[in-house]
Amino acid sequence: MRFVIVTGMSGGGKSTALKMLEDAGFYCVDNLPVVLLEKFVELISEPANEISKVALGLDVRADQSFEDINRIVEKMKEAGMEFEILFLDAKDQTLIRRYKETRRNHPLAADGRVEDGVRKERKVLEKIRKNADYVLDTSNLLTREFKEELEHIFVENREYNNLMVSIMSFGFKHGIPTDADLVFDVRFLPNPFYIEELKHKTGNDKEVQDFVMSSPDAEEFMQKLCDMTEFLLPRYVNEGKNRLVIAVGCTGGKHRSVTLANELHARMKTKENYGFKLYHRDVDKTGK
C-alpha cells in the first residue's frame, strides 16, 4: 500500500493536492482529528484492507496540538510502517496574499493578523517539513503546473529531488527580480529591437528566436549556461534548497532574455529529477 501524508502551510495547496491524488486513485481523507489518527492508521494497515493507495491530509488547527501529530508520525516510523510526507509550502507574501484574496481567517491568527498566523505556523511545522520526502513550493505555480509536478511524483513515480526551478526573463530597465538566485545578463547579444520587422515581436515569436539564436555567442552561452545549471542543481539539493530562481535579463525583457529563457527551459525541462517553471516577467511591457 502507498500511504501519503499531505501537509504544509495553510494556503500552500493541500486541497488541490488531495483532489489530484483522488483523481489518481488515492483514497483521500482530510482534516482527520488527531485523536482518530492512530486508529485510522491501524485500520488501513490491516492485511484484509483492499485499499492500495491512501492520502491523508493533515494541517494546523487552533484547537489541537501538532506535536501530537509529530509524535504519531514518529511512532509509525519506529513501527516500520512505510509512508511518504508531501509538504506544500509557499513564500510568506504569497500565503498572505492568498488569505487576503479569499478573506479567510488563518487558523493560528487569533487577532486576525495573517502575518502572525503564518509566522507561528512555520514554527509549528518546522519538524515535519524537515522530515518530508517531498517539499513543493507553490508560490509561482499555476494549478496546471502544480498538478503536473504531483503527477510526476505520484503517478509517473519519477525520482524527485525537492527542487523547483523557476526560469525567469526580465528587463534591467524594470529592475532585477528581488527573488532571483542567479542572474544572467544577455545584453551582449544582438538586439532585435533595432530590426523594424522584429521590433514589435517578442522572444516568444519564432522570427525573434531565430535572429537571437543565430548568433554564435548565443549558442555558446546557452551551452555553458546549461552545463553550469546541471552542475549546480544537485549541489543546491544537497544544501537543502527547494526553490531556485534563474533570472535572464536584457534591456527591456521582451526579446533576448525571453528567447534565452525559453531555450534554457526547453533544454532543462527534460531533467526528470527536478521541477521547472517558465515565467516572462516583463514581456508585455513597453521597451527594448
10 Å Cβ neighbour count for 62? 12
Structural domain for 120, as ranges: 2-154
Q: What is the pLDDT of residues 51-63, one digit of tens each?
A: 889 999 998 875 5
Q: Given this model, what pLDDT does residue 75 score?
A: 85
Q: How confident is the model at residue 85 (pLDDT cuts 50, 70, 90)?
A: very high
CATH number at residue 134: 3.40.50.300
Final residue belonging to a domain, choices 86, 119, 154: 154
How far apart, in whole angstroms, are the C-alpha atoms of residue 199 and residue 194? 6
What's the total number of domains in the chain? Answer: 2
Q: What is the pLDDT of residues 198-231, one digit of tens each?
A: 999 999 999 999 999 999 999 999 999 999 999 9
How far apart, in whole angstroms, are the C-alpha atoms of residue 134 and residue 147? 14
Is the pLDDT assigned to residue 286 strictly greater than 80? no
- The verdict on 139 and 170 lying in the same domain is no
- The verdict on 182 and 115 lying in the same domain is no
Final residue belonging to a domain, choices 124, 154, 184: 154
Q: What is the mean pLDDT of residues 126-143?
A: 89
Structure-model confidence comparison of residues 25 and 273, the more confident one: 25
Q: What is the pLDDT of residues 243-282, one digit of tens each?
A: 899 999 999 999 999 999 999 999 998 877 788 889 999 9
Structure-model confidence comparison of residues 183 and 80, the more confident one: 183
DSSP state of 64: B
Q: Given this model, what pLDDT does residue 196 score?
A: 94
Q: How confident is the model at residue 15 (pLDDT cuts 50, 70, 90)?
A: very high
The answer to whether residue 76 is domain-embedded is yes
Nearest of 288, 281, 286, 263 to residue 180 by alpha carbon: 281
Q: Given this model, what pLDDT does residue 184 score?
A: 98
Q: Given this model, what pLDDT does residue 223 score?
A: 96
Q: Given this model, what pLDDT does residue 82 score?
A: 86
Q: Given this model, what pLDDT does residue 63 score?
A: 54
- The verdict on 15 and 125 lying in the same domain is yes
The answer to whether residue 236 is domain-embedded is yes
Is the pLDDT assigned to residue 93 strictly greater than 70? yes
- The verdict on 95 and 170 lying in the same domain is no
The CA distances from residue 270 to 16, 37, 106, 276, in Å, are 25, 39, 38, 9
Sign of torsion, CA 256 262 266 268?
positive
Lowest mean pLDDT among 140-154, 161-175, 243-257: 140-154
Grid cell at residue 74:
514518529
The CA distances from residue 112 to 103, 108, 119, 254, in Å, are 11, 9, 13, 41
Q: What is the mean pLDDT of the chain?
A: 89
Q: Given this model, what pLDDT does residue 54 score?
A: 94
Lowest mean pLDDT among 12-16, 128-132, 262-266, 269-273: 269-273
Grid cell at residue 10:
495553510
Q: Given this model, what pLDDT does residue 287 score?
A: 55
The answer to whether residue 194 is domain-embedded is yes
First to last CA, the chain: 56
The answer to whether residue 288 is domain-embedded is no
Q: What is the pLDDT of residues 32-55, one digit of tens each?
A: 887 788 888 888 888 777 888 999
pTM for the model stands at 0.69
What 3-state DSSP class applies to 271? coil
What 3-state DSSP class applies to 140? coil
The answer to whether residue 285 is domain-embedded is no
